Amino acid sequence: MAFTATLKIIEDNIAEITLSGELDGSTASDFKDKVEEAAATNPKTLVLMMHNLEFMASAGLRVLIFAKQKMAEGVDIYMVGVQELVKETITKTGFDQSVYLVDEYNI
């Protein structure tokens, strides 16, 4: 399945990036571009909608770490609807300790 990343800025300065498909070395730059666009808006919260993200390689994890570093201090990152295979990668690395893994996010 092809990878897509779309950015939407929502009221109250929330940046929402919706990810779908397979996030790997060949698609990570698309995700990184969206993170940079989101960071430029100085959001209070970054929400990653991941219901349709089927796979994430280490390159995707690197972009998640980049996102954490790129956002201003105090910006909360929510990962919503993370599928089990992707969640496993996130928890094995301990990255789940610096983000919020949730089933739903209501604005």
- Placement of tokens 């599928």 in the chain: 83
Alpha carbons 12 and 31: distance in angstroms, whole number:
23
- What pLDDT sits at residue 106? 83
Task: Give the chain's domain count.
Answer: 1
Residue 107 lies in a domain: no
**Domain limits for position 11:** 4-102
- What pLDDT sits at residue 90? 93
Cβ 42 vs Cβ 10: under 8 Å: no
Does the predicted TM-score (pTM) go above 0.85? yes
**Rg for the chain (alpha carbons), in Å?**
12
- pLDDT digits (tens), the chain, 107 positions: 799 999 999 987 999 999 999 999 999 999 999 999 999 999 999 999 999 999 999 999 999 999 999 998 899 999 999 999 999 989 999 999 999 999 999 87
Alpha carbons 10 and 20: distance in angstroms, whole number:
19
Residue 53: give its domain's CATH number: 3.30.750.24
